[in-house]
């Protein structure tokens, strides 16, 4: 029998991989070189989809793993059962009293039901149900052999993989990240007979394209990973990562420093190589005169090299590269990489020197020829709108004159570096070069810092300076409101203008800084800057913007570990002030773990449920007759005089305020923590409502026939709700057995 032929060798009937014992499965999709993102995502999907597919197929399995290299996606399942589990179907038939006569013999109804279900009448079972005794036809379908099940399951797994950019090749209709060139499918020693993308599965795979170009024959699933290793392929990405980081550290040490292991570049490199080999190279000292960011960008983003620095953090004229191969001819490879880097750095030096011939401010006028977004005008118009928004923010936050002037200047210069030669060549440096050029031009340090930080957050990196945070939010607010006013919205997976990302950035920065800022006011100012006068367009854009911000805040709070119902209860009471809403959510989530929460929830829930929709009224103290009424009124009045309760739900600008707005560190940096304390204190006081509200409902008829008495009692309950509702709408909190349900 040829190696690729399906079947079972005599050795396949042994303990491992035999017909009666669980066996290891290997399914490999061999491709042309995959993009790194597709390799990571394909392995993730393959593992997740396999878990669900094996369960749906009733095929017990354990130890499901998925790996990826530049040329393959591989699924390994350590223990696959030899057969499917039997399928047992129980179909309910007629009632037992109809199916069997008084003598216990089956009636025609029972016989007809059994015949329709394909079972013997004698096999019908009587079962007790909530509706009474019924007969059931129980059909047992024996499970198929695992190899037969996998023959259909594995191609479905491959077909189910989705990639943002898929392609077709040849005359087939299959779409995949890259053309599929081979399939390997082994269950123990057996080949699983299946086909995908016009390729039949066998026991052949391929090792490293250069170091081992010949096919590898894999005799059993257990031998798969070792066979790849013999073919100079490390299957596990984490093993490649460890080899890359250790090799980079060793090569950088030989060059006299340590590598700058950018996490994103490491992730990318892991999926660019199958047999990593690190080596160090050098470049001329003269290039160290270039800004550090330029050197790192040229090395990392364009050449996929790791920069090297000394113990003090100063860049060295060296780099570390990762070769996909061994050490043979490494000196020639090093020389070639040094030559390429030298040319790239020479280009960067030329662009930098040319840019420095004129100040950054002189480039603002050239922004008129650079389109921002087709419906939203040019970059020059965006810079003008940012200046207007800076003035609006000055008024909304009460910025000090110097901080306001710096913010306006930063807004004016914010996009000027987009027309510099170096940013045109290296777009990753936008903002960074603006900050560098502004500093070299003698602009104030806060201005240069804000220009540099305007595109943050990127990942987890947030603006460090207050002015940088201001400009980052203004930039995103301008984009978000302009797009929404123009009728552009994110829908489903389509978000070509990055509106969700813009909203997420606004939320992250505003919460981090703790600003006492009504986002609706800033959004309205952005529409003014666009000169949007139509009331319907304004209302729609504002509504959509606030909904998007609220949704991003909801996601962020849930990801922080706050239960969904706590977040929903808080957001129902308003989220215009993002920092304030965050503080309320954190306070309520912590307070839910205290026994007093039940009292607050009960008081709110009972009062809110009975209030007619839209009811408003005034309490007449002289009309309170019952002792329970007077007791509740006294508690309400006492709580209304407490400062913590009075301020509950209000975004207090003085909470956590520093010495003056516009300082490098946020003057409101401690505001969120201060508000959490205030809301927690308020909730503790509001627990005093529990007993008098309970007594009120026990002793008093709220819906009294006398309209004046009824209105007065409802007004009293309205006052109870009005003290709690600014913190959260507690009717949205899910309660279970008197305790909060912590769902995420």
Calculate the alpha carbon distances from 241 to 33, 245, 323, 367, 549 in Å. 18, 6, 13, 43, 37
Say what the pLDDT of residue 244 is: 98
Instruction: Quote the percentage of the chain above a pLDDT of 70.
Output: 93
Q: What's residue 641's pLDDT?
A: 85
Contact 260, 225 (CB under 8 A): no
Please state whether beta strands 215-217 and 204-206 pair in parallel, antiparallel, or not at all (unpaired): antiparallel
Please give the C-alpha separations between residue 511 and each of 148, 299, 396, 461, in angstroms, as whole numbers: 55, 35, 16, 14
Instruction: Pick the closest to residue 84 from 23, 146, 6, 3 (CA basis).
Output: 146
Q: What is the pLDDT of residue 653?
A: 38
**Angle of the 578-591 helix axis to the 535-559 helix axis, nearest 10:** 40
Q: How far apart are CA 729 and CA 415, in angstroms?
A: 43
Residue 83 has pLDDT above 80, yes or no: yes
- The pLDDT, as a whole number, for residue 666 is 59
Mean pLDDT for the stretch of residues 316-342: 95
Q: Over 80: is that where the pLDDT of 644 sits?
A: no
How does the average pLDDT of the chain come out, rounded? 91
pLDDT score at 193: 96
pLDDT of residue 490: 82
* Distance (Å) of CA 318 to CA 260, 502, 744: 11, 37, 48
Query: In b/e form, how buried is each residue of 527-550, taking b as 16+ CB within 10 angstroms?
Result: bbbbebeeeebbeebbebbbebbb
**pLDDT higher than threshold 60 for residue 563:** yes
CA gap 327, 672 in Å, rounded: 56
- Cα–Cα separations (whole angstroms), residue 196 to 57, 155, 157, 181, 702: 19, 6, 10, 10, 71
Angle, alpha carbons 272-273-279 (nearest 5°)? 110
Helix axes 466-485, 445-453, angle to 10 degrees: 50
Distance (Å, whole) CA 365 – CA 386: 15
Neighbours of 722 (CB within 10 A): 14
In degrees and rounded to multiples of 5, residue 694 shows phi and psi of: -60, -45
In degrees and rounded to multiples of 5, residue 463 shows phi and psi of -60, 140
pLDDT computed for residue 147 by the predictor: 95
Q: What is the pLDDT of residues 90-111, one digit of tens each?
A: 899 999 989 898 888 999 998 8
Confidence of residue 511 (pLDDT cuts 50, 70, 90): very high
pLDDT of residue 562: 96
Band of the pLDDT at 650, cuts 50, 70, 90? low
Helix count and strand count (H, E) for the chain: 26, 20
Work out whether strand 195-196 and strand 190-191 pair parallel, antiparallel, or are unpaired: unpaired
Q: Count CB atoms within 10 A of the CB of residue 587.
A: 24
pLDDT tens track for 24-38 = 999 999 999 999 999
Share of the chain above pLDDT 90, in %: 80
Read off the pLDDT of each residue in 673-698 and give the average, rounded to a whole number.
Answer: 93
pLDDT in tens, 409-461: 999 999 999 999 999 999 999 999 999 999 999 999 999 999 999 999 988 88
Q: What's phi and psi for 403, nearest 5 deg?
A: -65, -40
Buried b (16+ CB within 10 A) or exposed e, 634-645: ebbeebeebebb
Contact of 188 with 12, CB cutoff 8 Å: yes
Residues 6+ apart with CB under 8 A from 329: none
Q: What integer pLDDT is reported at residue 736 of this predicted model?
A: 64
Q: Which two tokens stand for residue 480?
A: 């978000």
Give the number of other Cβ atoms within 10 Å of residue 512's Cβ. 17
Q: What's the length of the chain? A: 744
What are 512-528's pLDDT values in tens digits?
999 999 999 999 999 99
Task: Looking at 303-457, list the stretches that DSSP marks H as alpha helix, in order from N- to C-terminal side.
Answer: 330-355, 379-397, 401-413, 421-425, 432-440, 445-453
How far is 461 from 453, CA to CA, in rounded Å?
10
Q: Give the tens place of pLDDT for each residue, 128-153.
A: 888 889 999 988 888 899 999 999 99
CB 280 within 8 A of CB 257: no
Asked if the model's pLDDT at residue 739 lies above 70, the reply is: no
Q: What is the dihedral of CA 661, 664, 668, 670, to 10 degrees?
A: -150
pLDDT of residue 667: 67
Please state, in angstroms and rounded to a whole number, the distance separating the CA atoms of residues 215 and 231: 9
């Amino acid at each position: 029998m040829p190696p690729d032929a399906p079947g079972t060798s005599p050795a396949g009937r042994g303990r491992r991989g035999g017909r009666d014992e669980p066996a290891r499965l290997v399914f490999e999709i061999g491709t042309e070189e995959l993009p790194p993102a597709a390799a990571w995502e394909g392995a993730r999907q393959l593992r997740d989809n396999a878990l669900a597919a094996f369960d749906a197929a009733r095929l017990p399995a354990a130890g499901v793993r998925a790996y990826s290299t530049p040329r393959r996606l591989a699924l390994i399942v350590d223990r696959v059962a030899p057969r499917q589990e039997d399928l047992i179907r129980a179909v309910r038939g007629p009632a037992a009293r109809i199916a069997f006569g008084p003598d216990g013999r089956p009636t025609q109804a029972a016989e007809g039901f059994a015949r329709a279900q394909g079972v013997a009448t004698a096999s019908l079972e009587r079962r007790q149900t909530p509706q009474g005794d019924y007969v059931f036809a129980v059909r047992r379908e024996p499970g198929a052999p695992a190899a037969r099940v996998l023959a259909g399951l594995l191609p479905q797994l491959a077909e189910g993989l989705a990639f943002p950019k898929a392609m077709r090749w040849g005359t087939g209709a299959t779409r995949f990240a890259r053309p599929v060139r081979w399939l390997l499918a082994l269950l123990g020693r057996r080949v699983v007979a299946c086909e995908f993308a016009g390729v039949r599965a066998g026991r052949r795979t391929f090792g490293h394209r250069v170091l081992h170009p010949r096919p590898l024959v894999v005799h059993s699933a257990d031998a798969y990973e070792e066979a790849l290793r013999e073919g100079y392929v490390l299957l596990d990405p984490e093993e490649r990562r460890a080899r890359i980081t250790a090799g980079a550290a060793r090569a950088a040490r030989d060059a006299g420093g340590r590598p700058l292991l950018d996490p994103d570049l490491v992730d990318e490199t892991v999926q660019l190589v199958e047999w990593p080999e690190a080596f160090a190279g050098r470049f001329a000292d003269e290039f160290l005169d270039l800004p550090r960011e330029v050197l790192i960008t040229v090395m990392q983003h364009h050449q996929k090299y790791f920069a090297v620095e000394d113990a003090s953090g100063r860049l060295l004229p060296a780099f570390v590269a990762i070769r996909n191969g061994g050490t043979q001819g490494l000196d020639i490879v090093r020389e070639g990489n040094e030559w390429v880097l030298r040319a790239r750095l020479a280009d960067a030096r030329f662009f930098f020197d040319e840019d420095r011939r004129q100040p950054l401010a002189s480039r603002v006028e050239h922004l008129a020829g650079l389109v921002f977004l087709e419906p939203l005008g040019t970059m020059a118009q965006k810079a003008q709108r940012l200046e207007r928004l800076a003035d609006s923010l000055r008024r909304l936050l009460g910025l000090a004159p110097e901080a306001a002037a710096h913010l306006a200047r930063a807004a004016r210069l914010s996009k000027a570096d987009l027309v510099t030669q170096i940013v045109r060549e290296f777009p990753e440096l936008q903002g960074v070069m603006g900050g560098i050029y502004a500093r070299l031009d003698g602009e104030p340090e806060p201005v240069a810092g804000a220009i540099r930080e305007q595109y943050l957050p990127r990942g987890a990196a947030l603006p460090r300076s207050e002015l940088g945070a201001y400009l980052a939010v203004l930039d995103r607010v301008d984009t978000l409101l302009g797009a929404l006013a123009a009728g552009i919205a994110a829908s489903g997976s389509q978000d070509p203008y990055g509106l969700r990302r813009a909203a997420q950035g606004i939320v992250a920065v505003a919460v981090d800084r703790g600003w006492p800022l009504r986002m609706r006011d800033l959004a309205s100012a952005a529409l003014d800057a666009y000169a949007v006068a139509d009331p319907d367009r304004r209302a729609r854009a504002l509504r959509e913007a606030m909904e998007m911000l609220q949704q991003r805040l909801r996601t962020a709070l849930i990801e922080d570990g706050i239960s969904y119902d706590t977040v929903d209860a808080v957001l129902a009471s308003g989220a215009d002030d993002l920092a304030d809403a965050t503080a309320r959510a954190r306070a309520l989530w912590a307070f839910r773990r205290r026994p007093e929460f039940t009292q607050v929830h009960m008081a709110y829930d009972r009062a809110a449920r009975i209030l007619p929709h839209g009811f408003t009224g005034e309490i007449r103290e002289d009309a309170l007759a019952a002792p329970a009424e007077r007791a509740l009124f006294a508690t309400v009045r006492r709580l209304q005089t407490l400062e913590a309760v009075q301020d509950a739900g209000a975004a207090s600008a003085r909470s956590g305020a520093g010495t003056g707005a516009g300082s490098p560190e946020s003057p409101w940096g401690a505001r969120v923590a201060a508000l959490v304390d205030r809301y927690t204190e308020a909730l503790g006081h509001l627990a005093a409502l529990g007993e008098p509200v309970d007594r009120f409902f026990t002793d008093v008829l709220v819906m009294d026939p006398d309209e004046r008495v009824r209105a007065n009692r409802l007004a009293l309950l309205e006052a109870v709700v009005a003290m709690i509702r600014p913190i959260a709408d507690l009717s949205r909190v899910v309660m279970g057995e008197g305790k909060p349900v912590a769902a995420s």
